[in-house]
């Protein structure tokens, strides 16, 4: 049974072909929304998700988009508006990592992460702002990280980008509130995805032991919070950063 009813709504999700993004796409489609999602590299994975969602009665449309490309993001959003007539919610999930200690981090690794993880979010928010303002309603959910709040050694680029999302979220929430457009940020902690599957069992245990709940989150648990922020149940919440981290950042 769906937790929230999104029947008839149109949502855009960036980076929706793997991990947290895939779970967000599947959750929203299962709850009745028509989902338009971007992917960057894996066309076969996007096609497989599309077919599986359709078999379950949902609808998702994928398009290859580099969120770091301003023109590509605008064209994608324009396409959604042309096809669907509206955009009820945007989820900024797409992101990359280029980890390394600062003395070894290249300028390219810094710039690539900031361009995708922060500037790309700016591009998407700017693109959806106009149709949402015309509708006088909308939701924007930015996927941040607890490392954007507390930092993490070896991730000065990623942490800086995610910290930037906090300021972007709160500033945009103030700008758009008069048009009933709500902007919030979710800061996940340690989440089980195909990326974390590459860790050793000892590394996974070390992460789990540092979490008060003594376990990592599932991608579905993050997706359920996204769905809440996109729903009518969150109609008086804006400009907030919600940690979904099992108590790690307490």
- Report the catalytic residues: 158
Long-range contacts of 202-208 (CB under 8 A, 24+ apart): none
For 41, 77, 220, 247, the CA distances from 38, given in Å and listed in that order, are 10, 10, 19, 31
Both tokens of residue 173?
């929430």
CA terminus-to-terminus distance, the chain? 32
If DSSP codes are grouped into helix, strand and coil, which group holds residue 89?
Answer: strand
Spatial distance between the Cα atoms of 85 and 228, rounded to a whole number of angstroms: 23
Phi-psi region of 203 (alpha: psi -120 to 50; beta: other; left: phi over 0): alpha
């Amino acid at each position: 049974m769906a937790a929230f009813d999104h029947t008839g709504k149109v949502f855009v999700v960036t980076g929706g072909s793997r991990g947290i993004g895939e779970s967000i796409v599947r959750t929203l489609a299962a709850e009745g929304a028509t989902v338009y999602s971007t992917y960057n590299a894996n066309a076969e994975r996007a096609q497989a998700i599309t077919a599986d969602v359709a078999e379950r009665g949902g609808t998702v449309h994928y398009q290859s988009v580099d969120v770091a490309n301003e023109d590509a993001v605008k064209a994608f959003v324009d396409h959604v508006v042309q096809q669907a007539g509206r955009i009820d919610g945007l989820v900024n999930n797409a992101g990359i990592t280029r980890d390394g200690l600062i003395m070894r981090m290249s300028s390219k690794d810094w710039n690539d992460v900031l361009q995708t993880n922060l500037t790309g979010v700016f591009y998407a928010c700017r693109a959806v702002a106009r149709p949402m303002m015309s509708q006088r309603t909308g939701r924007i959910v930015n996927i941040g990280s607890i490392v954007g709040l507390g930092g993490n050694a070896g991730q000065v680029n990623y942490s800086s980008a995610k910290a930037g999302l906090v300021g972007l979220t709160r500033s945009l929430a103030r700008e758009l509130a008069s048009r009933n457009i709500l902007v919030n940020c979710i800061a996940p902690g340690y989440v089980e995805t195909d990326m974390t599957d590459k860790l050793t069992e000892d590394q996974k245990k070390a992460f789990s032991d540092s979490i008060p709940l003594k376990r990592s989150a599932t991608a579905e648990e993050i997706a359920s919070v996204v769905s809440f922020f996109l729903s009518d149940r969150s109609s008086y919440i804006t400009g907030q950063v919600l940690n979904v981290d099992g108590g790690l950042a307490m």
